[in-house]
Every structure is written in C-alpha cells, then in structure tokens.
Amino acid sequence: MVPEFATLLLNESPFYQGAMILIISLLLSKIAPLPRNFQPIVWFGLLAKELATKVNHPGRAPSQQLIAGTLACILLVLPFSAIMTFLMQLATFPWFFEFTTLYICLNDENFKQTAVEVKQALHQDEKNRARAILSPWLYRDTKELSEVGIAKATIEKLVTTPVYGTVSTIIFFGIGGAPLVLITRMLKQLELCWPPINPKFSYFGKPVYLLSTLLFIVPSWLWNISMAIQGGPKSILSLFKPLPNTMPFHNCVNTCAIAANVLNIELGGPMKFDGIKINTAQLTYGPKPNGESITTAIKLANTTYGLWIFFVISMPLIWAGLRYLHS
C-alpha cells in the first residue's frame, strides 16, 4: 500500500510543488518582506502615475478619457505579463519564477508593521510622523488628516490589503498559476494609482476599476466572510445587507463596513484627492477609532490571515490523506 501511495504522490508532484511554492511565498512575504522602495509592484505604480500625467487629460471628452485609460492599461499590463509568462514557459526551473512572482505580488502584506509604527506615533502624539509613515501607502491626501482620520486610513488599508494580497493570490494561483496572479495584481495596482473616486481619474480610471471589481468579487467576498465570522451572527448578517448611501467607485467599502462592524468602530467618511474633498459612505458601528483601535484591527487581520494559512496548509495534507485511503 505504501509503494502505491508513493507512486500516486509522485504522479501528482506538480500539485504539491505548487502548494509548497504558495505556502513558502505567503510565509516569506510576512517574515522577510522587501523594503517598499525595492518592490517591483511599487515601481510599476510609479510608472503608471508617470504615464497618466502624459495621457490623462481631464478636460477632454469622457469617451476620449475612457479610451486613453483602456489603452494605458493594456500598454502597462500586457508586456510585463507576457515576459513573465514567457520566462516561466522556457525556464529550466519554472518554480523559481513562480515563487518570485508570488512573493513580489504579496509584498503589500507587510503593511502590518507600518500600522504598528503609525500606532506608536499616535501614542507619542506625533501626528506629523504618523502621516509621513502612512503617506507612501495611500493614494490620497494625508497632510491634513486628524488623529481619527489617520486611524481610519490605517485600519482601512490594513483590512483591505489581504483582498488583493493573500486571498487573491491563493485563488488566482489555483486557477491560472503565477501569470494570472501577476496580471490581477498589476490591474489592482493600476486601480489604486488611478482611483475613479478621484475627480482627476473619474473617466480615465473607470475601465480598470470595472475590470478590477469583476475580478476581485470572489476574493473580496471570501475575505469579508473570514472577518465576519469573528464578529458573531450580527456581523455575518451584515454581509447580506446593502449599504445605504454608498458612493460609487469605491471598491473596498464593503470590506471596511464588515471590519467596522466586527471592531465596533466608525470607518469611512470624507477623503481628499489633490485638495478636493470627496464624500464616501460613513460606516458608523461604534465610536471613532484611535491608536488603540489599530491594535484591535491588527489582531483581527492576523487572525483572519491565520485562517487562510491554515486552509492553504491543510488542503494538500487532506488531499494526500484521501489519496492514501484510496490507495
């Protein structure tokens, strides 16, 4: 029975190799992340911003802006994804490129450390330092954020990052491998750089926003469920309640609402882009957050992340056990 089982495992070695690549990349992105200034996805975002300054002209007709946004997205995503796919197909050790791709796409997962630094700065009443720490991670104005605004922005980033990090990597890697993970991550980065909630990108960023919304429906829903089960029946029921007065072009609002419900705090509210104030849904489930609320949010994110890691590790073990019983 054991030799037959060993033969079965060898025949399914690509499955277990893929599982190991995924598990190691998930853990390494938490333990030893790249510094933000050395992250290729961040460089890709800077390239997207530079391209937008050249081709995005808000004064032109909406149809022209939509076309420009679509072509800019294709120009940025297609070459990089084609090159990486080509390298994976021809490489002697494709697992190396797969691991590298997943690791790169997961590097926003180290935002927890940034959240800790922001909390410490608020605790020491150094709001300017907290704003400076938070600023590179956000694509909105941070210079005028109050302590409540800093806490809100930190918590919102903390609970939404895993949607396009951990969860989407697990799902898209299982569906289409590392190339699909890279494509979806680049599209999400473009959405973050060209948010249509910002009036400057209201038309230019809309094609990417709509495509990103479609791609991340399932990852977002699964992550929301993972958080909601920690808040009890009330939080679970909130998954099925539509949000009143939700502003358009704001993808993370449902995730923020679940987090606010579980943490019993207030999230959402006005944002500023290039000095222009934009109203978004006010998600009031308790008092306004402060530095201590960030600690609670970190615990929530860590627990939810642990659930997903447990799922990823248990799946190949369960599959191996079933194959052993079958043999």
Contact 301, 162 (CB under 8 A): yes
Read off the tokens for 5.
């089982």
Nearest CA among 256, 255, 262, 265 for reference residue 299: 262
Candidate from 36-50, 85-99, 163-177 with smallest mean pLDDT: 85-99
| Span 10-45, pLDDT tens digits | 455 677 788 888 989 998 988 888 888 888 999 999
- The whole-angstrom separation of Cα 80 and Cα 57 is 25
Mean pLDDT of the chain: 86
- The whole-angstrom separation of Cα 26 and Cα 114 is 18
Read off the tokens for 183.
């494509």
Contact 294, 151 (CB under 8 A): yes
pLDDT at 55 over 90: yes
pTM: 0.90
pLDDT at 319 over 80: no
- The whole-angstrom separation of Cα 324 and Cα 311 is 20
Residue 6 — very low, low, confident or very high, per pLDDT cuts 50/70/90? Answer: very low
- The whole-angstrom separation of Cα 319 and Cα 222 is 22
Alpha helices in 163-272 (DSSP H): 168-193, 206-215, 217-228, 233-238, 253-263
